[in-house]
């Protein structure tokens, strides 16, 4: 099946990279190639783009791009430095990250990301490796399940949901999204208007299975170390947990850190390795009207300075 994917903040995220015609860029989340195709359209003949993605379907889509300036890597962006070394690339001019799950992944019921479909409880972005959501939920301790749902889903009924999952699997192994959604619905007593009771639990399990927050924490320092002076980091986050990690990293790397009471003038303070570019950007009303999934997106951009790490 073909699934429509609308690239969120396409213009803003690519503009944030301040593209140089002969530069080398990284699209850490290829998805269906919206950002990558826009970047390639603005590069010169000597420019280069390296894309990353875990999802085999995304890798298949990347195979339709025959541009010799483009290279796709079937791996998560957490392995950025290792992959660049293999490709003989030391520094790059920009890194773009479009975090979270893509529309095709959500809309393809067979992937198990959404409670809107009855499908195998998989949730892996890379279906060629790793533990499925079903395998973890059927074996994990109730305490671990509750912690994941609380920490990654910000679900106030995490303990009740975890208890329901463990009780339910005792009667019948969890194999489908519908089973999980039904168990959660019984455990969650109230929910925000318009939000399904299973929303937070499905988000939490997906984030955990794919190590999304851990990998985000790994990629940011790698991107910083690989950016050339003047190179840009452009990151789109879709929920508060992701954005908090990005915001804290960028803010910390954009401040000078000196011991207290050191007698230095402002001009003598060391230059921090990053400089924040502009204010955080959100999708316009027009974009949200066309693509409701853009409503929670937030873009942050920072530029590498000449400071040594």
Q: Is 35 annotated as a binding residue?
A: yes
Question: Hey, what's the torsion of the CAs at 138, 197, 129, 25, to 10 degrees?
Answer: -160
Name the nearest CA neighbour of 223 among 55, 123, 89, 34. Answer: 89
Q: Determine the Cα–Cα distance for residues 229 and 147; give it in Å rounded to an integer.
A: 41
Q: Looking at 3-157, list the stretches that DSSP marks H as alpha helix, in order from N- to C-terminal side.
A: 10-16, 34-42, 56-62, 80-86, 103-107, 133-137, 142-153
Q: Is 202 annotated as a binding residue?
A: no
Report the C-alpha gap between 309 and 306 in whole angstroms: 9
Q: How far apart are CA 8 and CA 255, in angstroms?
A: 29
Please check if 98 is assigned to a binding site: yes
Residues 6+ apart with CB under 8 A from 236: 8, 9, 13, 97, 98, 99, 297, 298, 299
CA distance 177 to 115: 6
Q: Which of 12, 1, 56 is nearest to 34 (CA)?
A: 12
Does 5 appear as a known binding residue?
no
**How do beta strands 298-304 and 274-276 pair?**
antiparallel
Of 19, 216, 185, 205, nearest to 98 by C-alpha is 216
| Cα gap 21→48, rounded to integer Å | 9
Is residue 144 annotated as involved in ligand binding?
A: no
Nearest to 294 by CA among 5, 12, 8: 8
Mark the binding-site residues, compressed into ranges. Answer: 33-35, 53, 77, 98, 105
Mark the binding-site residues for S-adenosyl-L-methionine, compressed into ranges. Answer: 33-35, 53, 77, 98, 105
């Amino acid at each position: 099946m073909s699934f429509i994917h609308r690239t969120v903040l396409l213009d803003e995220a690519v503009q944030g990279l301040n593209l140089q015609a002969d530069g080398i860029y990284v699209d850490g989340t290829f998805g269906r190639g919206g950002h990558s195709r826009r970047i390639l359209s603005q590069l010169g003949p000597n420019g280069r783009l390296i894309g990353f993605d875990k999802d085999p379907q995304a890798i298949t889509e990347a195979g339709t791009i025959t541009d010799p300036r483009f290279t796709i890597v079937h791996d998560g962006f957490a392995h950025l430095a290792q992959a660049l070394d293999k490709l003989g690339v030391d520094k790059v001019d920009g890194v773009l990250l479009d975090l979270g799950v893509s529309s095709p992944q959500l809309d393809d019921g067979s992937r198990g990301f959404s409670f809107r479909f009855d499908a195998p409880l998989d949730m892996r972005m890379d279906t060629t490796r790793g533990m499925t959501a079903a395998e973890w939920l059927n074996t994990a301790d109730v305490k671990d399940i509750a912690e994941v749902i609380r920490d990654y889903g910000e679900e106030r009924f995490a303990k009740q949901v975890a208890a329901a999952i463990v009780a339910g699997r005792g009667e019948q192994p969890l194999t489908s999204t519908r089973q999980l959604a039904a168990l959660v619905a019984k455990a969650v007593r109230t929910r925000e208007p318009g939000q399904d009771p299973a929303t937070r639990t499905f988000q939490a399990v997906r984030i955990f299975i794919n190590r999304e927050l851990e990998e985000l924490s790994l990629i940011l320092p790698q991107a910083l170390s690989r950016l050339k002076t003047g190179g840009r980091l452009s990151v789109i986050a879709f929920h508060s947990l992701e954005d908090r990690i990005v915001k804290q990293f960028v803010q910390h790397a954009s401040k000078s850190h000196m011991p207290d009471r050191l007698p230095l003038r402002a001009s003598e303070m060391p230059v921090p390795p990053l400089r924040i570019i502009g204010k955080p950007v959100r999708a316009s009303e027009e974009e949200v009207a066309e693509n409701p999934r853009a409503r929670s997106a937030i873009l942050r951009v920072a530029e590498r300075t000449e400071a040594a790490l």
